[in-house]
Structure 1
Amino acid sequence: MTDEFSRIARYFVPLAGEEGLGLANDAAVLKPPPGRELVLTVDQMLEGVHFLSGDDPALIARKLLRRNLSDLAAMGAVPMGYLLTTALPAGLEETWLAGFSAGLAEDQKIYGISLYGGDSSSARHDISLSATLIGHVAPGAALSRGGAAPGDEIWVTGTIGDAALGLKARFGKLADPTGYLTGRSLLPEPRVGLELAGIVSAAIDVSDGLLQDLGHICRQSGAGAVIVADDVPASKQAAAFGAAMLEARLTDGDDYELVVTVPPDRVAAFKSACGALPVTRIGHMVAGEGVEVRDRAGGVLRFGKAGWRHF
């Protein structure tokens, strides 16, 4: 592998925006758009935990960005750019870095972002990656987890559980003949660009499992939630597994869809703001605490876990 500075010049300087000053200084200089507030989020991906050793480096790069872009989407922020840190083992091939930087470049074009700077280091064994995404919102317009109230409806974007089943398929635990579920596991679609300020009362992205992440809204809002399992939208590929994979779909996470709460009188505005993006009502907020899952007949369903635990 080339030395650190040659690596930066070859693979990362071409990705830098003007804020990054050619990656030739100790820090970037960022001027937010006039009258806007900055929103920052950071996420990491570790080899053997968040991706597998043989995964396509371009997809690893894109998922690293998209996990963070999903956090910005959950806050209603417009993405601007990012800081990147890498810790790479000495024996890593140049082709891996070329693929990784190509993946970054592809999603920079899609989402209109650029690299501001970061840090590079060596790793003794596995690859460690981190990205800090920076976005902006109108003053006071950032969405939060804490505004839901009893009576609000609970909605989700897209379909829930594809990524969880895709990961199982990658480990040979279930069949994925079309590759759709695997693709959803490798490359999520963050729901950036939705103008939900003043419409939804609370929002979060589904990263650690629908039940666990909805539970965060409940705790921050001081309310409870009731959802109907059969109403949680599934792709036709996921639906084919029926009830056998219900718990995995609701608790395993990695969807990067949004779950939001919407006052009933704002539902029409919510649907309009989402445009062609499919959205589904899955339940409602109630007085109390925690998330209760029911079947169509009203019976309570219980699961062994609520979602992914990092420790």
Structure 2
Amino acid sequence: MNEFEIIKHYFTVPGHRKDVLMGPGDDCALLQVPPHSQLAVSTDTLVSGVHFFADMAPMALGHKALAVNLSDLAAMGADPCWVSLALTLPEIDESWIKGFCAGFFELAEYYNVALVGGDMTRGPLSITVTVHGTLPEGKGLRRNGARVGDGIYVTGTLGDAALGLQQIQGKVTVPEQYRDFVRTKFEFPHPRILAGQALRDIASSALDLSDGLAGDLAHVARASGVRAQLELERLPLSAAMLDSVSREQGWELALTGGDDYELCFTVPEIHRGQLETALAHCGVKFTRVGRMLAGEPGVELMAKGRSYQLSTQSWDHFRSTPA
């Protein structure tokens, strides 16, 4: 098959969204944005050897490529709508493409996201995904809204994806009963779309956790001009984590490991009761892990009432070692 045959056979799927006026096949997609709505757009590139192992299962890679972008929409409180995909492939491997599409389109169908365009070219393996979502005017969750006195919260448990990566790399031994769990956390992240939507009128700020809680929360603190104080004993760690490494190692993975794609958000005390109700309806576990204080913007770590210093740093593309 050539490029155009591949696109027609694997990437042209029947459209079910009435807001897609023109999908793949023309120079541009034509999309109908609902009235009184704002458009949320996010793009991520995944590069072989940097963001994923070259031998990662294509189905898992297809899922993750879309999931990490949908997680950005979740952090904004947006409704997922459309996606474009650009693939750079070293060669045409139909078996790989079939597996990739299975993972990608299964997640797209789950969230009613339509593929509306993209590109395919030859070169080192990389994947660029752009997602588009909508939300009511003025309801977007931003990083710059946190205020002194707000509580700091996270969804789910933290560090499990990083633990899964360390298991794959042979750096830790995870008990057998947890191995599938942590590998799934790493390879098949679950974007918190419903939780993000539920937080629109409750949270003062939000973002998704892609690079570790410490580094990601620092973005909120700087954007908002406040200081974040985390109480490490409050960090939600799974049974898999606690049975695999020490509590302190678990803290480090939660704070710097990355790839969780949970939400971190701040909530004023006045909305605390609303939060309990809103996220209970979503079936999402959440934990209060700290508070926002006055002072120099940054993140302060506290353990047993004392300052805690990290031994590792959050992910940085130009500092961290590639996968």
Asked if Structure 1 and Structure 2 have the same fold, meaning a TM-score greater than 0.5 normalized by the shorter chain, the answer is yes
With over 3 angstroms needed to count, the CA separation of the structure-2 counterparts of 1:301 and 1:153, relative to structure 1, is: same
- Post-superposition CA distance 1:113-157 (Å, at most 9, x none): 11000111111xx31101000000100110000011111000000
- Which whole-Å CA distance do the structure 2 matches of 1:184 and 1:100 have between them? 18
- Which whole-Å CA distance do the structure 2 matches of 1:266 and 1:250 have between them? 26
Q: In structure 2, the residue corresponding to 1:282 is in which secondary structure?
A: strand
- Which whole-Å CA distance do the structure 2 matches of 1:223 and 1:36 have between them? 30
Unaligned runs of 5+ in 1: none
Deviation at 1:203, TM superposition (A): 0.4
Match in the other structure for 1:99:
99
Tell me whether 200-209 or 46-55 shows the greater mean CA deviation: 46-55
1:287 maps to which of 294, 304, 311: 294
Q: In structure 1, the residue corresponding to 2:52 is in which secondary structure?
A: coil
**Matched ranges for 1:235-274 at <5 A:** 235-240=238-243, 241-242=245-246, 243-274=248-279
Deviating above 3 A after TM superposition, structure 1's stretches of 4 or more consecutive aligned residues are 15-18
Q: State whether residues 165 and 249 of structure 1, in contact with CA within 8 Å, keep that contact through their aligned partners in structure 2.
A: no
- Which whole-Å CA distance do the structure 2 matches of 1:245 and 1:191 have between them? 22
Counterpart AA for 1:290: G
Match in the other structure for 1:308:
315
Match in the other structure for 1:165:
163
* TM-score between the two structures when normalised by the length of structure 2: 0.92
Matched, 1:5 2:12: no
- Which whole-Å CA distance do the structure 1 matches of 2:192 and 2:204 have between them? 17
Q: State whether residues 22 and 31 of structure 2, in contact with CA within 8 Å, keep that contact through their aligned partners in structure 1.
A: no
- Which whole-Å CA distance do the structure 1 matches of 2:73 and 2:125 have between them? 25
1:208 maps to which of 199, 208, 211: 211
Q: State whether residues 82 and 114 of structure 1, in contact with CA within 8 Å, keep that contact through their aligned partners in structure 2.
A: yes
Deviation at 1:10, TM superposition (A): 0.6
* TM-score between the two structures when normalised by the length of structure 1: 0.95
- Post-superposition CA distance 1:218-245 (Å, at most 9, x none): 0000000111111010110012212234
- Which whole-Å CA distance do the structure 2 matches of 1:15 and 1:131 have between them? 20
Tell me whether 267-276 or 154-163 shows the greater mean CA deviation: 267-276
Deviation at 1:22, TM superposition (A): 5.1
- Which whole-Å CA distance do the structure 1 matches of 2:166 and 2:119 have between them? 33
Deviation at 1:61, TM superposition (A): 0.8
Q: State whether residues 43 and 130 of structure 2, in contact with CA within 8 Å, keep that contact through their aligned partners in structure 1.
A: yes
- Post-superposition CA distance 1:197-255 (Å, at most 9, x none): 22110101000110011000000000001111110101100122122342122111110
**Matched ranges for 1:80-91 at <5 A:** 80-90=81-91
Match in the other structure for 2:200:
197
Counterpart AA for 2:80: P
Match in the other structure for 1:113:
113
Q: In structure 2, the residue corresponding to 1:193 is in which secondary structure?
A: helix
Identity in percent: 38
Deviation at 1:34, TM superposition (A): 2.1
Match in the other structure for 1:233:
236
With over 3 angstroms needed to count, the CA separation of the structure-2 counterparts of 1:75 and 1:255, relative to structure 1, is: same
Counterpart AA for 1:45: L
- Post-superposition CA distance 1:16-36 (Å, at most 9, x none): 566373522111000012221
- Post-superposition CA distance 1:49-81 (Å, at most 9, x none): 111122111110110111011100000000001
Q: State whether residues 17 and 116 of structure 1, in contact with CA within 8 Å, keep that contact through their aligned partners in structure 2.
A: no
Q: State whether residues 23 and 29 of structure 2, in contact with CA within 8 Å, keep that contact through their aligned partners in structure 1.
A: no
